[in-house]
Amino acid sequence: MVFLILLLLFLTSCVSGTFVVNVTQTSYQAEENQDITLEWTFSTRTDTSLSSISTLCFLYAETRLHVLFNLNEGVESPESQDPEFSGRVQWDKDILTEGRLTLHVSRLRTNDSGFYVCDILVRPDGTNSRRCWLNVTAAEELQPQRPESPQPQSWRRLWLIVGVSAAVLVLFVSMACIVLIRYKRRTHNAAMHTGSLSEKQTIRTYISPSESEHKVRLSNI
């Protein structure tokens, strides 16, 4: 299989012409357990048939080659696929003759990071290849990097106004309670004092006639 890859690379460097292969993105960022779609585009003609297209897509990661997808003259060869990607790679057959090769990689793993290369051969137009970079990061590593959505300025001002108003209201209520308590204490003390004076005056009024009578009796003697 490595021989086939080297052969396609050799053909890519040898074949000349107007056949062009591109990638829609040069780099991708994803999180583990997510799904991603990688896409290549290539030049085709209106009479391009599926049987005239052959392609070999592989992942180059940590000095190892992992075959992802192998199509030979329109016929897929699943036996050549790396077991690590078995059941995790799908492709769209309907759009291949339109010059689009899409690979859907599901349930990503951190060791899926690397260069993804597709060598595409269309007879009799030629062959070419392009690569893109995929970086798959662990979920716990990506979590701190997610910026929190900034709160609108108007909401911040509203919360500030509400907070200040609540503080002023609490302060006002507290002062009103203190004033009311002091007023009640003063009223109570004044009432007690007035009551004492009235009681003393009543006692004096009650005692005064007796004293007068006693003085008259003394004068008669």
pLDDT on residue 4: 47
Rounded CA separation 189/193 (Å): 6
Give the global pTM.
0.57
* Rg of the chain (C-alpha set): 48
First to last CA, the chain: 154
pLDDT on residue 28: 97
72-127 confidence digits (pLDDT tens): 999 999 999 999 999 999 999 999 999 999 999 999 999 999 999 999 999 999 99
pLDDT on residue 3: 42
Closest of 35, 85, 44, 45 to residue 64, by C-alpha: 85
pLDDT on residue 69: 94
pLDDT on residue 46: 87
pLDDT on residue 178: 76
DSSP conformation letters of 143-192:
GGGSPPPPPPHHHHHHHHHHHHHHHHHHHHHHHHHHHHHHHHHHHHHHHH
75-85 confidence digits (pLDDT tens): 999 999 999 99
Closest of 217, 36, 4, 13 to residue 127, by C-alpha: 13
* For the chain, counts of helices (H) and of strands (E): 3, 10
pLDDT < 70 positions in the chain: 1-17, 141-155, 168, 170-173, 176, 188-221
DSSP conformation letters of 80-101:
GS-GGGTTTEEE-STTGGGTEE
The residues with which 29 forms a beta bridge, in sequence order, are: 135
Phi/psi of residue 180, nearest 5 degrees? -65, -40
pLDDT on residue 144: 53
pLDDT on residue 10: 43
